[in-house]
Amino acid sequence: MPEQRHSRSIYPGSVYQSGVPELVLASIRQPGDEICSDVYIRDGVVAAIIPSQQRPTSGGREAARVVDLDGRYVIPGLWDEHVHMTQWALASNRIDLAGANSAREAAAVVGSHLAGAGAPDAAGSGAHAALGAAPTLVGVGFRDVVWPDLPSLDLLDGATQGRPTALLSHDLHCVWLNSAAAERYGVSVDRSGLLREEPAFELTRELGRLPDTLVDPWVQKAGKAAAGRGVVGIVDFEMTWNRDEWLRRIAGGFDALRIEAGVYPQDLDRAVAEGMRTGLPVDGGGGLLTVGPLKVLIDGSLNTRTAHCVDPYPDGSHGLLTVSAPELLALLVRARQAGFVPAVHAIGDAANRVALDAFEAAGIGGRVEHAQFVRNEDFARFGRLGVTASVQPAHALDDRDAAEANWAGRTDRSFPLRSLVAAGAKLALGSDAPVARLDPWTAMSAATARARQDGRGPWHAEQALTRREALTASTRGSGRLRVGDHADIAVLDGDPLTVSDADFAAMPVAATLVAGRFTHGGA
Ligand SMILES: [Zn+2]
């Protein structure tokens, strides 16, 4: 981190008048600015932004702490608007098999973790850890459909030295076990070592049943990693009574991010009885925890062909509407009365229409989560009704083949970021971690380039956002730091408006602050 100087006299009198700023970020640039400025932070808020040339060289007041940022770029801290944080923490503590091009390679990756190249204990899982037995090694993300060889019990046994090991396929419909894991979980497998469908789901659930004492440190680590990417806050849609999980974690030292903890309809009565409503700070949350939106799922997903669509899938189905239109309307009316902002999960174009109809009839704004497929006549309704489109741009690239196969001839309105913005909708970017990485630069890069660095070329480039639009949709404001804002700030080692697409996707973040406190860098 840049040098830090104490007791330097730099405050212009006007800044000093209302109290001593606790921190000055000196010599920063906001993207697009020609000149450097100094950011004065007091009580966790941006108190002043003043051109560095106007900094008095002598005769000013004493400084609390000055960090010289040497012309680095500064943006408001980033938000990931859609996260499942416990699931993400679990996934990030499992061995990543996405890069394995064969069964043999996957076994070798696991073997090298055991040999100490990775962190086998952190990858472990199961209550056995608490009991002192070696935890089960868990790997995720393998794609056996493209492997030239077959997984086998022998192959995995040979790589794992008797350590119980379970590997989950990327779509979670298949688990590859070794003999020790089959014994530990009391399941029988043939020579392939594979479980599929329901037995695979069952074991996957079992692997996720872990003590808080194990998972909370992983969540803390995942929070720090997010801060390392410039993230200052997340909207957490973990499907539990989420508030108390976060109160426990914050009491245990979690302080890397602001958390907006979502509520599900099954908990709405309890939430209302306890006086909760969206946006309300939670007592005991250290200023970091607020009540999030009311999350309502009304359809499924593209990959399972359960997203509810106007036109049929190739098999003739239209997906599922899991909450009827009258039920949804009743929920939104209830949300309005109770002060909850609804966040309605709608992926298919028919589900998006149902969601917008309900927002309109209930007379309430809110958010649609995903909005992956939208009828042309519905784009403008987002803006008109005050419904934010909470979108996950990385999914567009993950699902481009699935979209071409299932929404053939109409993918021009799938993952329609530009169409939404052009029609006046407000966008909020997120990852849906663990579905995509909790890294806003991955999301923003997918939104702006509509391509990965994999040589495949852009997909529906006409739906891309500009860099400025992506930053604005990830920072809950104007995309620029302003006086009076929370001092939630990301300090970048590159200019986000001009670096290459590859550098933008991998943007180095020098420091992150929440309410003027360093959560990354700054040591
Ligand atoms: Zn989600």
How far is the centre of ligand 1, averaged over its atoms, from the C-alpha of 225 (Å)? 20
Beta strand segments in 95-218, E: 95-96, 124-125, 136-142, 165-169, 174-177, 194-196
Q: Is residue 396 part of a domain?
A: yes
In three-state secondary structure terms, 463 is helix
d(CA 358, CA 370): 17
Q: Who's near 141: CB < 8 A, 6+ residues apart?
A: 96, 97, 98, 168, 169, 170
Identify residue 473 by its one-letter amino acid code.
Answer: A
Taken as a whole, the chain contains a residue count of 523
Q: Is residue 286 part of a domain?
A: no
How far is the centre of ligand 1, averaged over its atoms, from the C-alpha of 296 (Å)? 11
Instruction: Choose one of 207, 233, 257: the last residue of a domain.
Output: 207
How far is the centre of ligand 1, averaged over its atoms, from the C-alpha of 316 (Å)? 26
Instruction: Choose one of 178, 207, 236: the last residue of a domain.
Output: 207
Q: Are 35 and 45 in contact (CB under 8 A)?
A: no
| Whether 388 and 410 share a structural domain | yes
Q: Which of 15, 20, 22, 33 is nearest to 74 (CA)?
A: 33
Q: What is the pLDDT of residue 75?
A: 98
| Whether 371 and 424 share a structural domain | yes
How far is the centre of ligand 1, averaged over its atoms, from the C-alpha of 328 (Å)? 18
How far is the centre of ligand 1, averaged over its atoms, from the C-alpha of 150 (Å)? 32
| Whether 14 and 125 share a structural domain | no
Identify residue 398 by its one-letter amino acid code.
Answer: D
Q: Is residue 461 part of a domain?
A: no
Burial 98-134 (b: 16+ CB within 10 A, else e): eebebbeebbebbbebbeeebebebbbbbeebeeeeb
| Whether 67 and 177 share a structural domain | no
CATH number of the domain that 364 lies in?
3.20.20.140
Q: What is the pLDDT of residue 122?
A: 43
| Whether 59 and 152 share a structural domain | no
How far is the centre of ligand 1, averaged over its atoms, from the C-alpha of 141 (Å)? 18
Q: What is the pLDDT of residue 6?
A: 44
Burial class (CB in 10 A: 0-12, 13-18, 19+), 521: middle
How far is the centre of ligand 1, averaged over its atoms, from the C-alpha of 235 (Å)? 10
How far is the centre of ligand 1, averaged over its atoms, from the C-alpha of 432 (Å)? 5
Paired tokens of 338: 């109770």
Q: What is the pLDDT of residue 83?
A: 96
How far is the centre of ligand 1, averaged over its atoms, from the C-alpha of 509 (Å)? 26
Burial class (CB in 10 A: 0-12, 13-18, 19+), 34: exposed
How far is the centre of ligand 1, averaged over its atoms, from the C-alpha of 46 (Å)? 32
Q: Is residue 354 part of a domain?
A: yes
Q: Are 147 and 101 in contact (CB under 8 A)?
A: yes
Residue-by-residue pLDDT tens, the chain, 523 positions? 544 444 444 556 666 666 778 899 999 999 999 999 999 999 999 999 999 998 866 545 566 789 999 999 999 999 999 999 998 999 888 999 988 999 999 999 999 999 875 444 444 454 454 456 788 999 998 888 779 999 999 999 999 999 999 999 887 778 999 999 999 999 999 999 999 888 988 898 899 888 999 899 999 999 999 999 999 999 999 988 999 999 999 999 999 999 999 999 999 999 999 999 999 999 999 999 999 999 999 998 888 889 999 999 999 999 999 999 999 999 999 999 999 999 999 999 999 999 999 999 999 999 999 999 999 999 999 999 999 999 999 999 988 998 999 999 999 999 999 999 999 999 999 999 988 999 999 999 999 999 988 888 999 999 999 999 999 999 998 789 999 999 999 999 999 999 999 999 999 999 999 999 999 998 6
Paired tokens of 269: 């009565």
Q: What is the pLDDT of residue 130?
A: 47
| pLDDT per residue as tens digits for the range 368-421 | 999 999 999 999 999 999 999 999 999 999 889 989 999 999 999 999 999 999
Paired tokens of 285: 């949350």
How far is the centre of ligand 1, averaged over its atoms, from the C-alpha of 434 (Å)? 9
How far is the centre of ligand 1, averaged over its atoms, from the C-alpha of 6 (Å)? 45
How far is the centre of ligand 1, averaged over its atoms, from the C-alpha of 61 (Å)? 49
Q: Which domain holds residue 421?
A: 298-429
Question: Dihedral of the CA atoms 108, 455, 75, 343 (nearest 10)?
Answer: -80
Q: Which of 299, 417, 408 is nearest to 349 (CA)?
A: 299
Q: Who's near 194: CB < 8 A, 6+ residues apart?
A: 151, 174, 175, 176, 177
How far is the centre of ligand 1, averaged over its atoms, from the C-alpha of 83 (Å)? 6
Q: Are 429 and 470 in contact (CB under 8 A)?
A: yes
d(CA 50, CA 38): 5
How far is the centre of ligand 1, averaged over its atoms, from the C-alpha of 153 (Å)? 34
CATH number of the domain that 159 lies in?
3.10.310.70
| Whether 126 and 64 share a structural domain | no
| pLDDT per residue as tens digits for the range 359-381 | 999 999 999 999 999 999 999 99
Instruction: Choose one of 386, 412, 429: the last residue of a domain.
Output: 429
Q: Is residue 67 part of a domain?
A: yes
CATH number of the domain that 509 lies in?
2.30.40.10
| Whether 189 and 131 share a structural domain | yes
| Whether 57 and 121 share a structural domain | no
Q: Provide the domain count of the chain.
A: 3
How far is the centre of ligand 1, averaged over its atoms, from the C-alpha of 135 (Å)? 28
* Residues bordering ligand 1, an ion, CB closer than 5 Å: 432
216 CA to centre of own chain: 18
| Whether 4 and 38 share a structural domain | yes
Q: What is the pLDDT of residue 171?
A: 74
Q: Which of 429, 432, 401, 431 is nearest to 414 (CA)?
A: 401
How far is the centre of ligand 1, averaged over its atoms, from the C-alpha of 238 (Å)? 8
| Whether 36 and 95 share a structural domain | no
How far is the centre of ligand 1, averaged over its atoms, from the C-alpha of 274 (Å)? 25
| Whether 188 and 102 share a structural domain | yes
How far is the centre of ligand 1, averaged over its atoms, from the C-alpha of 298 (Å)? 12
The overall longest dimension of the chain from CA atoms, in Å, is 81
How far is the centre of ligand 1, averaged over its atoms, from the C-alpha of 82 (Å)? 6
How far is the centre of ligand 1, averaged over its atoms, from the C-alpha of 276 (Å)? 22
How far is the centre of ligand 1, averaged over its atoms, from the C-alpha of 240 (Å)? 13
How far is the centre of ligand 1, averaged over its atoms, from the C-alpha of 86 (Å)? 12
Q: Are 102 and 125 in contact (CB under 8 A)?
A: no
Q: Is residue 219 part of a domain?
A: no
